[in-house]
Each structure stands twice: as C-alpha cells, then as structure tokens.
Structure 1
Amino acid sequence: MTKIISENSEIDKCRRCGTCCKKGGPSLHMEDRELVEGGIIPLKHLFTIRKGEPANDNIRRSIQPADTDIIKIKGQNNTLVCRFFNPEDNICKIYEHRALECRVLKCWDTEEIERIYSKNRLVRKDLISGVAGLWDLVEEHQRRCSYEIIQNFINRDKSDKKTDSMKGLIEIINYDMHFRHLIIDRGGVDPEMLDFLFGRPLADTMRMFGFENNFHRNLHL
C-alpha cells in the first residue's frame, strides 16, 4: 500500500487532512457489522464488489479478482470521496463510529491496515441471509450473473467460439439490467440498494474486462 505521506515526513499522528477519505471509502469487516445493523452505515450507502470481480488490491498494487464479496462505502457525487466525508469542514460525519479500516489507517505507517486488509471481510450473506425473500433474490442473481460464468465466456472469446461467447455475455448483461428494473418496479426495492444487493451493473463492470463502446451498443437486444 502506498503511503500518503512521504518517508521524510515528521508526521506521526492523524491531522484529519481528509486525504484518505478522498481516495475512496473503506471496505467493511466483521468488526463493522454492528455499524450497519445499527443503521449508522445504511445499506443504501454501500456497494458490493462481488466475488470474481476485478478490484484494485491496494496491498499488491494491482487489479485482482476479488476472492469474496468486498463491501465498500459509496462515494459522493460520482467521485471517490467517501459518502461520510464533509469536504467543507474536512471532517468525517461518523468519526466516533468510523469503520475498522479508517480506525487503523495511519498514512505514515501502513503496517496495521496491511495486516487486516483482506481478513474477516463482511459479506452480503452476513447482513441479509436472514431476510428469506431478499436473500433468495441475491442468490438467484448470483447464480445467473456470477463472474465465474462471465470469465468462462471471456475465455471462450479467445477461442474459435467468439460469436457464441459474445452472445452469451450480452444475454447475461441484459438479464442483469432487466433483473434490476424488475426488482424496483415489482419488488419495491429502493434503487439505492441495488449496488449493495447485486453489485455494480454488469454493463459498467464489463469495461474492466477490456470491452469498449462497440460492445455496449449491442445491449438491450
């Protein structure tokens, strides 16, 4: 993990400069579960990087497939700035109840956050498996739209079955889009909950696999 403060800095305590808050919200761990269940961090302020989805690994400094769900706090106004950061006052709105990664991060010494970074991550099942109908929908979506299935199609795309592979990918992405609309229209689910429940739309994340605009023009078929 890259240190925010230079090696020659004499800083040895947090000055609450907000730099880390502007670089993206934290990932949540089991230690943060009560913050979510207690409503301090609402589900609608979270999004899920699903298992197998390409994600930035801050420790290995590379894009790696997530080995499990990674639940993160959303940004604000289509930026990376953490939802709970107040840029006007340069303060965290939930500072006394901030997430584990925020509590252990020391920009001048990243040893502790490196130690806990990939351990005891909170996953969707921890939070909503007890909500039978809702969890069933999450499992159905995962069954049809898993990144394992997507990766299999992408691997086939490199072989002589390119046309069938592209068709399969488009069908999955269209299913993902229609599924989300159906959940809102018939299920009455808050649209702000979708990125937590089902991860980010596949039409967006497919760009991380190298598919450009000509691919996206084939959607909604």
Structure 2
Amino acid sequence: MQQNQKECQQCGTCCTSGGPALHKEDKHLVVNGELPLAQLITIRKGELARNPLTNSLKPIKKELVKISGVGREWNCYYLDSESKRCTVYDTRPQACRVLKCWDTTEIEKLFEKDTLTRLDLLDSSNKIRKCIEEHEKAFPCPDLIGLREFGPQEKEAEVEELINQEIVFRTKVVSQFELSLGEELFYFGRPVFHLLVSIGVRVDEVDQRLIVSWPAAKAAR
C-alpha cells in the first residue's frame, strides 16, 4: 500500500491469504459458471477462521462459501502467481470490489453479512443436497476451541470414531457422484480430521483406520 493511495493497484497483496467469502450479490457468478463449484470451499459453522476485525482465530458463527486457495501459501485460486494480477478482476466478487487496503471501513461492514451457503447455490432438485444435510447432522464441526484447550476428556474414542465414519461417508458420496476433490470441498468442507490437525492433534492412518494422538497433557485430563 502506498501513502495517499486512492485506488487499487492490482498488486495481489490482498489475494495472498486465500479467496474471499461469497455474498448474495455474487450468486449469479456461480449460477452462470463464472465461479465453478470446484474452485469454491465451504467453511462450516464452528470452524476456526481469522477474524479480520480482531485479527484472531475465532469459530465462525455461520457457514461461509469462499473461493479456494492454492499452494502452500493458500493464495486465492484466481491470483496469477507470476503477474500477481487477478484473473477474474472484471467479474470479481463483492468482497474484492469493496476491499480497499488503504481504508477497510467498507469491507469490515460486510464481514459475515449476507453471505452465501452451499444450499443457496444448489438447485432444489440437486441430489447432493440431501447428502449435505445428512453430513451436517452426523458430522458437525466439533468444539475446536474446547478440544484445543482441554483435549477430548472422556470423548477420545467418540471423536476418533467420528472422523473415521466421516471418511466412510465421504468416500461413498464421492464415488457415487464422481466428485473431484474441489467439488468435495465445496459440498462438505474440509474433513473433520483436517480440522483436528489444524489445532495440533496428530492423526495417523494405521491399517486403513485413522488413529488420533492427543498432546499428552490434554489426553490425560
């Protein structure tokens, strides 16, 4: 950002922390195919995300659909890594249009307001809608803050069983509907075991089963 900046320089800096959340105003971009489902990712209610207003990790209060990130840096999918320019700049989502790195007032007002959910973007006849509803009921996002601070306590076996059953569910649906990885992440978000890894839990695969290893102090509580 340059001093006294008044307009976007398309430097790409704002695009290096993942893609934006989509809002109601962006629905036509998805419906028209300008933002394919495979390039979107669902952040489910309860997942930890950085709150730009407090600059801290907080559980999100409502489901978000975002443009996916890519690579180790998790840059926005539509950021050209060489030119650092947005490849969909003329049809960029609302959050990108209102974001001004030199004045964040407008983007702060938009935070978690009028956001889209998966079901907003799927036709009522879409057969995967039922799978999404089943998945949310059977495999809700766990209390990640509680698990991070206090461990699983008496629910260690329950949590381990949940992440294994979720993989079974995902594998079945992915096979049935021939989903790509990108489509899976839109329809169901990140697997619960990925969310556990993000809070410092170790997950290993042993004999085709996921085994959870909690930090010693937390597992003993």
Q: Same fold (TM over 0.5)?
A: yes
Specify which of 165, 171, 177 is matched with residue 187 of structure 1.
Answer: 177
Identity %: 32
Check conservation: 2:49, 2:59, Cα contact below 8 A: yes
Contact 2:39 2:67 in 1 (8 A): yes
Residue 44 (structure 2) aligns with: 50
Is the counterpart of residue 122 in structure 1 residue 111 in structure 2? no
Unaligned runs of 5+ in 1: none
Match of 1:108 among 102, 113, 120: 102
Distance 1:201 1:96, change over 3 A: same
2:216 equivalent in structure 1: none
Residue-pair matches, total: 207
Distance of aligned partners of 1:114 and 1:15 in 2 relative to their CA distance in 1, 3 Å threshold = same
Say yes or no: does 1:198 pair with 2:217.
Answer: no
Structure 2 unpaired stretches of 5+? 212-221
- What secondary structure, in the 3-state scheme, does the structure 1 residue paired with 2:66 have? strand
CA distance in 1, matches of 2:81, 2:200: 35
TM-score between both structures, scaled by the size of structure 2: 0.85
Does the CA-based 8 Å contact 1:128-1:135 persist in structure 2?
yes
Query: 1:53·1:65 contact (CA, 8 Å) conserved in 2?
Result: yes
Partner of 2:218: none
User: What secondary structure does 1:186 align onto?
Assistant: helix
Q: Which moved more, 1:43-52 or 1:183-192?
A: 183-192
CA RMSD of superposed structures (Å): 2.3
Asked if the contact 1:203–1:216 (Cα under 8 Å) also holds between the matched residues in 2, the reply is no
The aligned amino acid for 2:62 is T
Distance 1:191 1:53 in 2: 19
Return the match for 2:76 from 73, 82, 85.
82
- Normalising by structure 1, we get a TM-score of 0.85
**Structure 1 residue 136 corresponds to structure 2 residue 138:** no
Instruction: Tell me what 1:171 maps to.
Output: 161
Q: For each residue in 1:50-88, what CA deviation from the matched residue of structure 2 results, as whole angstroms up to 9, or x when unmatched?
A: 011111111121111111111111112343211111122
Q: Which structure's residues are more often helix, by fraction?
A: 1
